[in-house]
Each structure stands twice: as C-alpha cells, then as structure tokens.
Amino acid sequence: MTERRESKGVTTLITDAYAKAWMEEHLPELKESVSGQGILYRSLAFGFVVGLVAHIGGYVLLSLTSSGLPGLLADLLHALGWSLWTGVVVTVFVQVVPEVKRRQIKQAVDAYEKFRNDKGQKRSRNRARKGG
C-alpha cells in the first residue's frame, strides 16, 4: 500500500508540467545534494545545536524550578538535550570520521593504481618503439 502511494506521488510529480520544468532546471543541484554526505552532516549539525540548546535550557529551568511537574519537565528537557548532543558526538566519531578516512585512503589507493598503470603503459610504449 505504501509503494502505491509513493509511486502515485512520483507519477503525479513527473506528469505535472510545472514540476517537470522545475526538475529540469534544478536537476544538477538535486543530484549533487543527494550524492554526497551533505544531508547527514546537516542533520548532525542540526541535532547538535538543538540538543545543546535543549540541554542548556533544561539546566536553566532546573535551577529556576523547585519540584513538581515543572521540575520534571525541566529535567526531561535537560536529559533530552544531553542525550541528543552527545549522541551526535558519538555518531561523528563512530561513523563520520571513519568514513572520511576510508574515502581518503581510497583516493590514495586509486591515485597510486593510476600512477602505476600509467607508468606501465609508458614502459610498454617505449618497448614497442624500440622494437621489442
């Protein structure tokens, strides 16, 4: 049932003349925005900022309220903020940093292989010119 709704929405988007014109105009930017890690980085930055604000806001409310329901809500806000921004920090160290390192190593290996292949092709061309 979900697939039918999604395909219907996509079909409507593709058949709408205004939507097709907009897609044609913005296709390079759309492809670029979904191909990289930009969505992940923006989500992490947003989560970090919201978490930090909630943590600080909860801390301030905890110092202003004594007990009861306002104190409980302040404590919940403080805990939510703490868990959100620390979760982002953990995600950066567990996922983002290793992924960046993996891409750097892959680029270095690809560059080395390209260099090695280019050097091998030059040797074979030189042998062919010398006749053997």
Task: Tell me the average pLDDT across 104-130.
Answer: 83
Instruction: Give the tens place of pLDDT for each residue, 61-74.
Output: 999 987 889 999 99
| Cα 71 from Cα 78, distance rounded (Å) | 10
Q: How confident is the model at residue 6 (pLDDT cuts 50, 70, 90)?
A: low
pLDDT number for residue 132: 55
pTM of the model: 0.64
Q: How confident is the model at residue 1 (pLDDT cuts 50, 70, 90)?
A: very low
